[in-house]
Structure 1
Amino acid sequence: MNRNLSGKVVVITGASRGIGAAALQAFAAQGAHVVAMARDAARITALARDIGPDAMALPCDMADWGAVDAAIGAVLARFGRIDVMINNAGVIDPISHIAEADPAAWGHSIDINLKGVFHGMKAVIPPMRAQGGGTIINVSSGAATNPLEGWSAYCAGKAGALMLTRAGHLEEGAHGLRILGLSPGTVATDMQVRIKASGINPVSQLDPSVHIPADWPARTLVWMCGPDADPWLGQDVSLRDVGVRKAVGLIA
């Protein structure tokens, strides 16, 4: 797949590792200016330095609206626009049954997985409207529609994020914004290590060999910025779909 994104400004949250870090590389390879946002300042600074002068690192906690608003302001001050926003930041913890869950930890998961997506969308929608368009992609999960034991916080957060995708498309589609989600399936990231160690629910029992590489969803995110993904506006693209994998060029 080759999509020319030269000069486009792409903001990626949760960019310090996994899908986010792979997406930085994938978009940079297509000529985009990439902005890495995450709490791990040292890691995103190193990633941006490796990519080169077209990359920017902004330490940011997506659960903190003031921090998100300020970070997006810094992007606009440097580049003057934002063409793509990838809301990828997310956490699996706490893995716990509802009856035993710590309320503070459960709420913090919602702050990141749901409110963080809202913060990202709220921050970029006005400038995208003003410039006449843009793409927002919320990284979703099969957990958005399927409950899993011990994952009540994660499932609830992802279900809410899917509804934000739907609501965002309803409200902003007429203003030229493309809003959609990506459900990548199980990906070989640090999150899967944490899931495996928990021993709770069938996902923890999966053999690591079945997980797809982080490069696959990263390349899919690039593909989703083009018109071939328009049929999924307001919905999640599922990377479990063989047709999608073929369209992206992941399989023959």
Structure 2
Amino acid sequence: MNTPSSGPLSGQTALVTGGARGLGLACVRALSALGVQVTFTVRTPESRDKALTDLADTGARAVVCDITDRPGLAEVLSAGFDILVNNAAVVTPIGRITDLSTEDFAASLDTNVTAQFDAIRLALPAMLARGRGSIVNISSGAAHRPQEGWAAYCAGKAALAMLTKSVHHEYGAQGIRVFGLAPGTIDTGMQGQIRASGINPVSQMPRSALAPAEQPAQMVAWLCTAAADGLIGQELDVRTPALREAAGLPPLT
């Protein structure tokens, strides 16, 4: 098995949730390129095997664990990590409020908020013991702007944005670096679900207009370096020109 390359984060360890594909897979690769030993969660053995094939050159490790499995997540995080990327999320259920069930709404928040909280709660003790740690919560423009049909997703991402601020408020002085990053509209499986719904303007965007997942993944990795210390505790957007320049991303066209 190959090992991570040397880099500004060499020797650190990371957990990326939902790393089987899309943004999560790209984050595993971007962090590995900076010298991080990455573990990532997947939901099935099949997705694990495919992802490990795609990431064979990184030395990354995969664990089958749905993040809503509380005991399973606790076992994964018992290893202790320097970096946590809270990426796993769902956009479903998609529909107007009167078309949604309470059960589906609650299940969405369980994945998009409660499981993210649980991952942070479980990751913090090891980070605090070291006196340092980086947490990147994958946020969304939906945290701040409602979209028709996305009541559950918007509510979850808004709650996650406040959780980011709460972590900074409570633990920033103890060396915990936390960020919320909106990755923009990127070409992932989630966008395929959105297009299929046809319910709001985002669903009408052609696939050709979507950005590659590698761009926000590069910014996630950059946020874990000392270069981003001036942004700790903030909700950020990958489309911000100055931020893109600082992270080495090309200007938006």
TM-score band, normalised by shorter chain: over 0.9
Q: How does 1:121-136 map to 2 (within 5 A)?
A: 121-136=120-135
Structure 1 counterpart of 2:225: 226
Listed one character per residue, the Cα deviations across residues 187-229 of structure 1 (whole Å, up to 9, x for unaligned) are 1001111101111111111122221100001100111012332
Q: CA deviation at 1:141?
A: 0.2
- DSSP-derived class of the 1:26 partner: helix
Q: CA deviation at 1:168?
A: 0.4
Q: CA deviation at 1:60?
A: 1.2
Q: CA deviation at 1:52?
A: 5.4
Q: CA deviation at 1:3?
A: 4.8
Listed one character per residue, the Cα deviations across residues 30-84 of structure 1 (whole Å, up to 9, x for unaligned) are 22101011213322344235435832211111122222111112xx1xxxx4111
Structure 2 residue corresponding to 1:62, chosen from 67, 75, 82: 67
**Could you list the runs of 5+ residues in structure 1 that have no partner in the other structure?**
none
Matched-pair contact (CA < 8 Å) for 1:7–1:32: yes
- What TM-score, normalized to structure 2? 0.92
Matched-pair contact (CA < 8 Å) for 2:45–2:64: yes
Q: Aligned partners of 1:23, 1:248: CA distance in 2, in Å?
A: 14
Structure 2 counterpart of 1:113: 112
Structure 2 counterpart of 1:71: 76
Matched-pair contact (CA < 8 Å) for 1:38–1:89: no
**RMSD of aligned C-alpha atoms?**
1.6
- DSSP-derived class of the 2:181 partner: strand
Matched-pair contact (CA < 8 Å) for 2:21–2:51: no
Matched-pair contact (CA < 8 Å) for 2:127–2:133: yes
**Could you list the runs of 5+ residues in structure 2 that have no partner in the other structure?**
1-5
Q: CA deviation at 1:11?
A: 0.6
Q: Aligned partners of 1:225, 1:70: CA distance in 2, in Å?
A: 24
CA 192–53 in structure 1, closer or farther in 2 if over 3 Å, else same: closer
Q: Is 1:88 aligned to 2:87, yes or no?
A: yes
Q: Is 1:6 aligned to 2:5, yes or no?
A: no
Percentage of identical aligned residues: 40
Structure 2 residue corresponding to 1:41, chosen from 17, 22, 45: 45
Q: Aligned partners of 1:53, 1:137: CA distance in 2, in Å?
A: 20
Structure 1 residue corresponding to 2:32, chosen from 23, 28, 35: 28
Q: CA deviation at 1:249?
A: 1.4
Structure 1 counterpart of 2:156: 157
Aligned pairs, number: 245
- DSSP-derived class of the 1:182 partner: strand
Matched-pair contact (CA < 8 Å) for 1:139–1:183: yes
Q: Aligned partners of 1:7, 1:232: CA distance in 2, in Å?
A: 23
Structure 2 counterpart of 1:247: 246
Q: Aligned partners of 2:152, 2:123: CA distance in 1, in Å?
A: 26
Q: Aligned partners of 2:205, 2:7: CA distance in 1, in Å?
A: 34
Q: Aligned partners of 1:229, 1:143: CA distance in 2, in Å?
A: 24
- DSSP-derived class of the 2:216 partner: helix
